[in-house]
Amino acid sequence: MNKRLVDITIQTGFHQFLSQTWIREAALKALAVAIPNQPCHMAVAVCDDGTIKQLNRDYRGADTVTDVLSFSTQYSGSWQGESSHHPTDPYYQEPFVVPNDKDDFIGEVVISFPQMCRQAAESSRSQKDEIAFLIIHGTLHLLGYDHEEPGEATAMIHKEQEAMSEFI
């Protein structure tokens, strides 16, 4: 098996509720179904509502809390926002810079822990299953999967279901 790295950052206050092993396994399962045997490096960050709201506003132009954001180094997408920000715009963010020695870095998935908890409570999923789903969903976005068009949504849902069925 080729080398795959998953860096994990959990915001202070959420460590006691999360397993880094579970987070890593969910990301690795998504990678296994989407890009088997391909080495890569990615990151998963778990944060609070305020952090994800700011990221959503700054990078997508949506001033709301969301469950998961994916910042891919390889694929453009809606995370870049609807409008192009100019450096004089108060919401302007410098583009992501990936060090030259990180050619296999595919991006970062950011999850709001409180939003994940709310969604788990509203659905039939446990918090453990909900965070696994969000990690898988976000990882697939890093790899170019999307759900904006019906055909794309079908392919993405199939990969999500495959990863979740093998994982849980």
What is the DSSP secondary structure assignment for residue 87, as one 8-state letter? T
pLDDT of amino acid 101: 56
Quote the domain boundaries for residue 56. Answer: 4-167
Q: What is the CATH number of the domain that holds 150?
A: 3.40.390.30
The domain total for the chain is 1
pLDDT of amino acid 84: 46
At residue 128, the 3 state secondary structure works out as: helix
pLDDT of amino acid 127: 94
Q: How many Å apart are CA 161 and CA 133, to the nearest integer?
A: 9
Low-confidence ranges of the chain (pLDDT < 70): 1-2, 77-102, 167-168
pTM, entire model? 0.85
pLDDT of amino acid 2: 66
Instruction: Output Rg (C-alpha) for the chain, integer angstroms.
Output: 16
pLDDT of amino acid 39: 94
